[in-house]
Amino acid sequence: MGQTVFIPRELDANEPRVAASPDTVKRLAGLGFDVIVETGAGTRSRIPDEEFAKAGAAIGKAADVAKADVVLKVRRPDETELKSYKSGAAVIAIMDPYGNDAVVAALAKAGVTAFSMEFMPRITRAQSMDVLSSQANLAGYQAVIDGASEYDRALPMMMTAAGTVPAAKVFIMGVGVAGLQAIATARRLGAVVTATDVRPAAKEQVASLGAKFLAVEDEEFKAAETAGGYAKEMSKEYQAKQAALTAEHIAKQDIVITTALIPGRPAPKLVSAAMVASMKPGSVLVDLAVERGGNVEGARPGQVVTTANGVKIVGHLNVPGRVAASASLLYAKNLFAFLETLVDKATKTLAINRDDDLVKATMLTDGGKVVHPAFAKADQQP
Amino acid sequence: MGQTVFIPRELDANEPRVAASPDTVKRLAGLGFDVIVETGAGTRSRIPDEEFAKAGAAIGKAADVAKADVVLKVRRPDETELKSYKSGAAVIAIMDPYGNDAVVAALAKAGVTAFSMEFMPRITRAQSMDVLSSQANLAGYQAVIDGASEYDRALPMMMTAAGTVPAAKVFIMGVGVAGLQAIATARRLGAVVTATDVRPAAKEQVASLGAKFLAVEDEEFKAAETAGGYAKEMSKEYQAKQAALTAEHIAKQDIVITTALIPGRPAPKLVSAAMVASMKPGSVLVDLAVERGGNVEGARPGQVVTTANGVKIVGHLNVPGRVAASASLLYAKNLFAFLETLVDKATKTLAINRDDDLVKATMLTDGGKVVHPAFAKADQQP
């Protein structure tokens, strides 16, 4: 009898994703695990119990978590859930620990070894475990679909006998994984796409997708561009010039999609109320950072706000969850790829190497203590 | 003082379009007309009163229709509205007269010269007046956006470090203007697209957009294909083989968009309840014919229905109205292009040539009588 992996149904009403797929269940069994999936865990990602069963999982109930040596989740377990967890169990999820010291302390107190998938280092070896990328990619796609859905014109240029419908102007702010996929999707739909980022080096990526990079391209910019990567912060003068250019640009856009997040900190405000007010009625802003306070002034989590001047600000929660069926498949693979590194292939049991870089980067709590350096002080909480 | 064109606000709550744009107002003034736009007429198509005023229109109220020699509308006026119309006024709209004999009689009784834009012949000269094409084109685009919005996966294939998200399979039934634009839009979004039509000649158009035509390609099909255009009806045997192939195909699709309309008759049923039941949970059907009874069994006008097996049937009303800002611009141009043919450029007044083919095809009522041959009997109504 092997060790047990348990995949619970997510309790958050706003979380349709699930941390396993029939494919990963099969692979987990291949690693020697007994797999239990809570009944209904996959329903909202369109994976019925039968498919998990066919792949080799037992279908169980929430209380079966007590048998689990490994728990795979989307969101971190809350304190009530943790009461049923076995001390020493490995719990792998998006732990979202920043600003949640009490929760981190609770994980330690429960004695679980908690891994925060969003801390996975962005190195080649861990690419297949990068949940931020896999989910941001889908969020970037869905942001364009959501924007197009709210927008009251067509995105592509249409040449018809009655005249030409001009292509929509779409502006992407923040060119990470989500921003790049948003650029690609808006381009696919035939929009005229521009994008911007605080990293001048992003210009090349934007251009490679057929979009135009918006920046004050002075000497300072050019120097920073060739420096590449996360360049040093630009001068105050440059920032002011860039802000003026951006403000002027936003007033002319039909759809603006913002994607700027800073790990562990509130989202930067990119679009002020004055900029929103400068836009034409019927224009649409999609704020992918709304859960972190928002990039757009006036965005409301979970709402589509229409401003006094007729601009829509779309603030959907959990945007990857809006394409849950795709999001769960990729998320499940990310988790499997990581868990595989924690298993001793010979004995077919969990063998966590606490010196491994991936473990060190992601391990939040272990043996009753908060072990992650960024949260060690959380230990002192009650 | 010239003759007066009046553009009312549409009264139907479900009709956000408007029959003029700032561009056409300017052109109407150029033809010598005084133009009055009812206040708020363009609001829901994102054209504020000020823009109409800037283009040269007076902003008026509903009662100003009494001064109008020409009324431009989206939907036909109801009996209450007609009471304020001047006898002899030309009224140009989508009259939707089939099955509405009483309304046609009311138009005659009001003494207006009513033109039914949807009867415009599909000849080169009238291409710029073809409201069915201009609106169907946008409906085809929006059907894909609506489908993608309801679908819980991404449409394009995505190759990521965590694995590949397969491209969605989209099937378009009915390859008219709407169907062709739906094919183009789904292809833009990276879906794997197939399409079918009762006209074998449509195969070539479908292929030219990079999609695959679904048909039993036997000898009979090949003969019909080369005959081109609206071929003679296929044999009963052929129809049965084709129906079986289609049923089998639908079971494997992610998104099905149906666009089949027959002028003056209920929409043909293309997708049976059994076919809907054969689809995977999470699949989406978009029925563009729902206002005519629907191509899909179980479609409900104005609703998104989720079936027992988890398939969504999208039945939005007035799909061109969902991209109202684009739809109104094109519709307004269609109407202007037609009205221009009714004007004597020398005297700058209306001079309807009742022998013109376009007039003969579209004129529904004139001089107190129902004059269109298809509706002449409507005259006998009270």
Question: Is position A122 annotated as part of the catalytic site?
Answer: yes
Q: What is the mean pLDDT of residues A236-247?
A: 94
Furthest CA-CA distance within chain B: 72
DSSP A323-359: GHHHHHHHHHHHHHHHHHHTEETTTTEE---TTSHHH
| CB spacing of B149 vs A146 below 8 angstroms | yes
Burial degree of A122 (CB within 10 A; 0-12, 13-18, 19+): exposed
Chain B, 24 to 63: residues with Cβ < 8 Å from chain A are: 45-46, 48
pLDDT of residue B1: 55
pLDDT of residue A28: 97
Across A104-108, A229-233, A292-296, B342-346, least confident range: A229-233
Neighbour count for residue B126 (Cβ, 10 Å)? 19
- With a cut of 90, say whether residue A127 has pLDDT above it: yes
pLDDT of residue A358: 97
Across A99-103, A352-356, B7-11, least confident range: A99-103
Task: Say how far apart CA A263 and CA A119 lie, in whole Å.
Answer: 9
**A4 falls in which pLDDT band (50, 70, 90)?**
very high
**B228 falls in which pLDDT band (50, 70, 90)?**
low
- With a cut of 50, say whether residue B311 has pLDDT above it: yes
**B226 falls in which pLDDT band (50, 70, 90)?**
confident
Report CA dihedral (A102, A107, A113, A116) to the nearest 10 degrees. Answer: -50
Question: Is position A303 annotated as part of the catalytic site?
Answer: no
Nearest CA in chain B to A185: B189
Question: Is position B354 annotated as part of the catalytic site?
Answer: no
Task: Say how far apart CA A381 and CA A199 lie, in whole Å.
Answer: 38
B48: which chain A residues are within 8 Å (Cβ-Cβ)? 281
Question: Is position B84 annotated as part of the catalytic site?
Answer: no
- The string of pLDDT tens digits covering residues B281-307 is 999 999 999 999 999 999 999 999 999
Q: What is the mean pLDDT of residues A94-101?
A: 92
B306 touches chain A (CB under 8 A): no
Nearest CA in chain A to B165: A326
Q: Tell me, what DSSP letter sits at residue B12?
A: -
Smallest Cβ distance to A148: which of B145, B154, B282? B145
Q: Which of A10, A16, A60 is nearest to A35 (CA)?
A: A60
Average pLDDT, whole number, for chain A? 94
A95 touches chain B (CB under 8 A): no
| CB spacing of A330 vs B165 below 8 angstroms | yes
Q: What is the mean pLDDT of residues A50-55?
A: 98
pLDDT of residue B224: 81
Are the beta carbons of B350 and B339 closer than 8 angstroms? no
A46: which chain B residues are within 8 Å (Cβ-Cβ)? 152, 280-282, 310
- With a cut of 70, say whether residue A230 has pLDDT above it: no
Write the CB contacts of B48 (distance below 8 Å, at least 6 apart in sequence).
A281, B42
Burial degree of B69 (CB within 10 A; 0-12, 13-18, 19+): middle
The structure's pTM equals: 0.93
Are the beta carbons of A93 and A8 closer than 8 angstroms? no
| CB spacing of B142 vs A127 below 8 angstroms | no
* Residue owning tokens 């054969």: B278
| CB spacing of A134 vs B161 below 8 angstroms | yes
A188: which chain B residues are within 8 Å (Cβ-Cβ)? 156, 188-190
**A380 falls in which pLDDT band (50, 70, 90)?**
low
- The string of pLDDT tens digits covering residues A142-151 is 999 999 999 9
Nearest CA in chain A to B136: A160
**B378 falls in which pLDDT band (50, 70, 90)?**
low
Neighbour count for residue B358 (Cβ, 10 Å)? 19
DSSP B37-87: EETTTTGGGT--HHHHHHTTPEEE-GGGGGG-SEEEEEEPP-HHHHTTSPT
- The string of pLDDT tens digits covering residues A140-178 is 999 999 999 999 999 999 998 888 999 999 999 999 999
The catalytic position among A127, A208, A235, A303 is A127
B337 touches chain A (CB under 8 A): yes
Test the B interface: residue of A158, A319, A333 with most B CBs within 10 Å: A158
pLDDT of residue A378: 56
The catalytic position among B64, B130, B146, B366 is B130
pLDDT of residue A240: 93
Distance separating the N- and C-terminal Cα atoms of chain B: 38
Question: Is position A133 annotated as part of the catalytic site?
Answer: yes
Q: What is the mean pLDDT of residues B247-264?
A: 95
B145: which chain A residues are within 8 Å (Cβ-Cβ)? 145, 148-149
| CB spacing of A152 vs B46 below 8 angstroms | yes
- Report phi then psi at B53, rounded to 5: -65, -45
pLDDT of residue B380: 54
**A1 falls in which pLDDT band (50, 70, 90)?**
low
- With a cut of 50, say whether residue B35 has pLDDT above it: yes
**B229 falls in which pLDDT band (50, 70, 90)?**
low
Task: Say how far apart CA A200 and CA B340 lie, in whole Å.
Answer: 53
| CB spacing of A162 vs B337 below 8 angstroms | yes
Chain A, 134 to 193: residues with Cβ < 8 Å from chain B are: 134, 137-138, 141-142, 145-146, 148-149, 151-154, 156, 158, 160-163, 165, 181, 185, 188-190
Smallest Cβ distance to A163: which of B149, B324, B333? B333
The catalytic position among B87, B127, B149, B208 is B127
Q: Which of A140, A144, A194, A169 is nearest to A283 (CA)?
A: A169
**A382 falls in which pLDDT band (50, 70, 90)?**
very low
Nearest CA in chain B to A330: B162
**B382 falls in which pLDDT band (50, 70, 90)?**
very low
pLDDT of residue A233: 77
- Name the token pair of B38: 């009812």
- The string of pLDDT tens digits covering residues B93-132 is 999 999 889 999 999 999 999 999 999 999 999 999 999 9
Q: What is the mean pLDDT of residues B79-83?
A: 94
- The string of pLDDT tens digits covering residues A63-86 is 999 999 999 999 999 999 999 999
